[in-house]
Amino acid sequence: MSAGTAVAKMTQFRDQPWRLWARQVWAVMRMDLGRNFFSRRGIWIYGLAFAPALIVLLHVMVDRAGSDAQLYVQSETVMLAVLFQFFMRLSMFFGCMGIFTWLFRGEVVQKTLHYYFLVPMRRDVLTVGKFLSGFLTAALMFGSSFFLCFLLIYLHIGAAGRAFGFAGPGLGHLGMYLLVVVLACLGYGSMFLALSLIFRNPIIPGAVLLGWETISGILPSILQKLTVTYYLKLLVPVELQSDGWWALFTVVTEPIPHWAAVLGLVLLSSLVVAYAAWRVRRLGINYVSD
Amino acid sequence: MSQSIIFENVSKFYGDVLGVNRVTLNLGPGITSLVGPNGSGKTTLMNLMTGLVRPSQGRIELLGTAPDQPDELFHRVGYCAQFDAFPRGLTGYEFIYGFLRLHGIDPAQADILTKEALERVNLVAAGPRKIAGYSKGMRQRIRLAQALSHRPTVLVLDEPLNGLDPMARAETIALFEALGRQDMHVVISSHILEEVDRISDRVVLMASGYVVAEGRIHDVRQEVKEHPVQILVRCSNPAVLASSVFMQDHVVEAKVIPQGGGLLVRTVDPSSFYNLLNRLVSQGLVDVEAVAPADEDVNSIYQYLIGEGGTA
């Protein structure tokens, strides 16, 4: 590419109506966020998100610290890491499925998609707005749920727990866990958004995706990079034992730096959202057959 | 840039089912009515026009813009679709305001345009109420307000008179007439043929996915050769006129309408009939009050071309 062409492309890029698109994305998000958080359909997603917090609450109510506080902190840290695996692979997976597959499919089922299609808005902008509303919903729900789990675990241990959780290495763990939550919402969200635009019923493809993500660790190297779990596993702050079937969830066969994992997942998600936008551009409205 | 709505050899198939086939149209400003029975392809044509469905083949252009460029198209196009569904929980005001915000219009301007649109359809008082509590007619009007709210130059209206009470219907028709006079493109589908007839500049008749006829109503009627033209003559002496026209080969039927209703003549050659009438008048045999075509309306043309079988 010559310098002149590069400058022309840069100018063209800069001259796009970015402010208009930002306003439109925000308008889409405003409409969707209220529905995501306050509709009756959101109840089961709240259930999925906050079930782990409820489990932890029950745990801290019945469990008592032993004589060795440091050992207890360690065992609770491992317990939290185990819980996080289930949280990430079940709660977040199915929660994101509920949120993101409904973004467009819900509009089709309720016969309201034309409301968005009849405005002077690029379909790509609509896709981004819808995706971001789903992402914000999921990140807030699951992030706050895990934050609650973390608080409950380390507060109930006492002084040693507070020292570890809020002044020691636990704070770093919390940061990494929340980063994984955000990235999981990004990764799973993009996958489910795209699947909802390919299949009318997302349950079967959702089950296939669950299987695909579960066996991520034993896939060939190149295929591993097409799974969300591969990147997330690299970022989980507490290493767990890797014996037996549990190794499927914990072993990282090809470690890469954290920054590369974050970048990789963001890139993968962006590609999937771009594909979803392409599908939306070609989407016609035929509520009868849908 | 073209100032017309253009369809060039457009077909749309839903799998094996035909939506519309080989439609070629060029619609200028004014009011165009799409008329045809259920399933004739009217809604498909409107959805194609607005990019809600994509053609299987052919080219569509609205004032120089293709329907697959919504960011360009909907600055100038408003579509009042037939879908009677609304995003949940919205009031009439929020429905329009949210729609305008999706356009990217700033809050103050969106507020002004929303109020203006509600006023145009007489829903100012109902604006703050939830749409879920609206009657069918009110839902129809709020959709119309949505289509008008951003002041488009092309208005596509799918059965816009459905569910409206006579008063609202009259007001809505007056609104369409006013919009048509402002050089807007107004495309209406309706099964209320008498009212469509009154306001249309041109008509597109559809049956089974095909355009059966299109053009100005008078021109379309002239093309229907197999059905004799009906002419109503109000005159002083219809019996004399009837006896004269009966001798003409081109006259198929002449019927005296009682109580001074005049004479209804069916002829295959209207020009010859008019010549005859002139002669009779100049000879002082009849005194004519009025002469008018009796079947130069959408309803008659619809019956001739599509028939009684179709349910409009």
Mean pLDDT score across all residues of chain A: 89
- C-alpha span between B117 and A58 (Å, rounded): 56
Model confidence band, residue B158 (pLDDT cutoffs 50, 70, 90): very high
**Cβ contacts of residue A256 below 8 Å, gap of 6+?**
A234, A264
Contact B104 A27 (CB under 8 A): yes
Q: What residues of chain A score a pLDDT lower than 50?
A: 290
CA atoms within 13 A on the CB side of A282: 8
- Both tokens assigned to B206: 């559809």
pLDDT of residue B303 exceeding 80, the answer is: no
Name every chain A residue with its beta carbon within 8 A of the beta carbon of B47: 284-285
3 state SS of B12: strand
pLDDT tens profile A38-92: 888 889 999 999 999 999 999 988 877 666 778 888 889 999 999 999 999 999 9
Please report the ipTM that was assigned to this predicted complex: 0.83
Interface test with A, best of B102, B114, B139 (most A CBs within 10 A): B102
Specify the pLDDT at position B37.
Answer: 83
Contact A120 B99 (CB under 8 A): no
- C-alpha span between A192 and A281 (Å, rounded): 17
**Which pTM value belongs to this model?**
0.85
3 state SS of B41: coil
3 state SS of A219: coil
pLDDT tens profile B239-271: 888 888 888 888 888 888 887 778 888 888 888
Task: Please report the number of interchain residue pairs, chain A to chain B, with beta-carbon separation below 8 angstroms.
Answer: 86
What are B276-285's contacts with CB under 8 Å, separation 24+?
B276/B244, B276/B245, B276/B248, B277/B233, B277/B241, B280/B240, B280/B241, B280/B244, B285/B237, B285/B240, B285/B241, B285/B244
pLDDT tens profile B278-287: 888 888 888 8
* Signed CA dihedral, B140, B145, B147, B152: sign only: positive
Query: A110 touching B, CB under 8 A?
Result: yes
Specify the pLDDT at position B294.
Answer: 79
pLDDT of residue B307 exceeding 80, the answer is: no
Residues in chain B: 312
Specify the pLDDT at position B310.
Answer: 46
**Separation in Å, CA of A164 to nearest CA in chain B:** 47
**Separation in Å, CA of A279 to nearest CA in chain B:** 13
Specify the pLDDT at position B57.
Answer: 95
Specify the pLDDT at position A1.
Answer: 64
- C-alpha span between B188 and A122 (Å, rounded): 26
Average pLDDT of the residues in B186-194:
81
Contact B52 A23 (CB under 8 A): no
Specify the pLDDT at position A288.
Answer: 65
